[in-house]
Amino acid sequence: MRHRKRSRRLVTKWEHRVSLMRNQVTDLLRHGRITTTLAKAKELRRVADRMITLAKRGDLASRRRALAFIRDKAVVRKLFTELREKYMDRPGGYTRIVKIGPRRGDAAMMAIVELVEEKLQHKRSRRKIEAERKAEKEIERALGRGKEAEEVSTSGEGEASGVAEGPESPPAQEASGEVEAQEVSSAGGPEAAEEKEPPSESPPEEKSS
């Protein structure tokens, strides 16, 4: 019975199975895609995802664990630099399995295992979209209220300045009137010139003998 046995028995010996998985993971990380049977592809996906998870951690212990399974240092370097940056924002699902039909001869189902190259795109729900729209409308309303308040405050300030300047204007007018009156009085004005007449010359008085 196969109770609690997740792995598939691909070959007879355990050493052969480990070397098979090691070689396939190395080729997958080096080339990006390989062709194998469907059963081997499903086992390979588990190991490849585990290696990419170690690369996302990025610490020394994870690098040593990857080197213990993948013997090629160049592949490990690529795993911890290029692939780590590519899959840093992806929570899982780093590989894809595509069936290509049975193999000629023994009719074994074949499949292509490849690394996912597309960027992860999250589909937003309707509730989130509606919430964003409501938030935008509230922001627009708040901005409109703020502009109205600014306009009202500016108009109030203008009226207050006009009222404050009103009482000051009559004294200025009075001062200007006083200045004009002084000028007219000093100059005598046209009426004063007409009223004033030159003094009449009286004839000399004759002396009585």
13-27, 112-126, 171-185: segment of lowest average pLDDT:
171-185
Q: Is the pLDDT of residue 209 over 50?
A: no
What pLDDT, in 10s, does the model give residues 146-173? 777 777 777 766 666 655 555 545 555 5
Per-residue pLDDT, 186: 56
What pLDDT, in 10s, does the model give residues 46-94? 999 999 999 999 999 999 999 999 999 999 999 999 999 999 988 888 9
- Mean pLDDT on 93-115: 93
- Category of 206 on φ-ψ map: left (φ > 0), alpha (ψ -120 to 50) or beta: beta
Whether the model pTM is above 0.75: no
- Quick one: 14-115 is in which CATH superfamily? Ribosomal protein L17 (3.90.1030.10)
Per-residue pLDDT, 20: 92
- Mean pLDDT on 20-32: 94
For the chain, what is the mean pLDDT?
80
Q: Could you give the 3-state DSSP secondary structure of residue 99?
A: strand
Pairing of strands 95-102, 109-115: antiparallel
Q: Is the pLDDT of residue 18 over 80?
A: yes
| Per-residue confidence band for 111, with pLDDT thresholds at 50, 70 and 90 | very high
Residue 47, both tokens: 């190991």
Burial of 36: CB neighbours in 10 Å, binned 0-12, 13-18, 19+: buried
Per-residue pLDDT, 94: 92
Q: Is the pLDDT of residue 126 over 60?
A: yes
- Mean pLDDT on 19-24: 93
